[in-house]
Structure 1
């Protein structure tokens, strides 16, 4: 039996660790030559529907970098077709939705997910990875606001005007949409945990577009419900979004274990604000293109802040992008491990 590295799970629970655990958002992706080769002949849809291939893609960065956790390779849009949403991932653009939500009627037409029937390939990939990995497997779901933003805008957006206008103008329909997406998230995540996922990250990537008052009114109730239901499953729960530093304290009040930070809010500032939960973050991925001495200096700053108390996981403030070199991440992972080794 190979040794199981549980340092990431310990950090999630705020326990002492032998070193600061590290993993990276989008650690499986276009910066890897092996991944680019697969993408020459396979779409994202094809990779995620082939459990053996998807497990290989998920495990590759763990083997390459020696990170302390794997994150399942899939897309936040994966469960939406089950609800009747026509979604296509266009290369270089992102998710495009042909039937955007425009009215209460559109919300009422949405179906529900039955994970074993609708996304069996996701669950099969998780089962396969649990046999192959010697580090914890993180799985994930998009949060209702972020999924709703794609469903209402019809694709990626810079300002979320249509989404916010729908929220303000049709509050009743908005809450029905949140309820449907909340139900979907709970069913989908529970099935992933049952299949063997050992931690869950909820990506509310774009919720930073809202102010605190609107977050409390329109979003927090559904997030409370989702996390309260998932808490019963007994696996660590992580919350993350981009450009959402003003919401960090709102997240810390949710029944979660880990608050994920992007680079806009330092670990020290988050602690000064009274957040006592485990923190995850938060090197700006842009640093990965800088000379090593610059990366090392900034990483040390983050680690020194994070190590002041137990409950810290090193990560980036957002995902790895294609121009980054594999060697940089190998060196960064080794540095975090060496610098923080007890």
Structure 2
């Protein structure tokens, strides 16, 4: 006997990927329902070789459903997640709403699978921020070996992290540059994104950091270890899909770059592509559609005693969102729900 699954926000970038990944990974589902807002009612969605018509999230009854994957943003989640949870359906939420709630587990299955058992407190599990998810997959095995004291990370985040509007804006602005009569001023972003980079994701906080940067700090501490010091600079770049990160770590014990490379090669969810030659590394274009978090450019940082640098790349719509949510659902099924 399989599970009954609902995907809320099925017409968005992440929702579509959730349906694709459920089918690709052959998730043991007897029934999958695509949910969307009323304006998208009866939109046809692909699920493997099947076509689903969206149902109205506002009137949907979650009773009898096992798991709901939410990709609808914080405001809508605040309204609908408690209803689903109260009906006995476990919510796996992709928004930031529940990530910092001490009673709700924040999970990356390769990193802290043991946290899954905390789902029962509120019947809700949080999915981390896209930039955090890929970074902690690479950090955790190194932390287990040499204990990471400090992380300095600069991100290069694709426009798909801002949804369809972000992708459309990059596309439209890129075209308009070659057609001066068709001006496309910024709407989704604060400055022109085409042929530019913007060191600003989410709102500014009183500290001077952006909320995206704060999220990486808070979530890394919650997922791996509250003692880790993290500082981040998050930048939006003119790439459609795939987040990249330049990560510098300082460990308590010395960790040789060759050992770090070997550890990461054996770590779940990680693919090491690290040749010191032209093209011997992964870029965002290379990772699109893949499940792995790729690590390249692993090297010693000679400016401190126990330092390493590395380059981390992943498909943000997959590992940064939809894939991680489906992996959580798989973990939940194996460890807690155990059907069929």
Q: TM-score, normalised by structure 1?
A: 0.29
Q: TM-score, normalised by structure 2?
A: 0.29
Structure 1 or 2: more strand by fraction: 2
Q: Which has the higher contact order (CA 8 A, sep 6+)?
A: 1
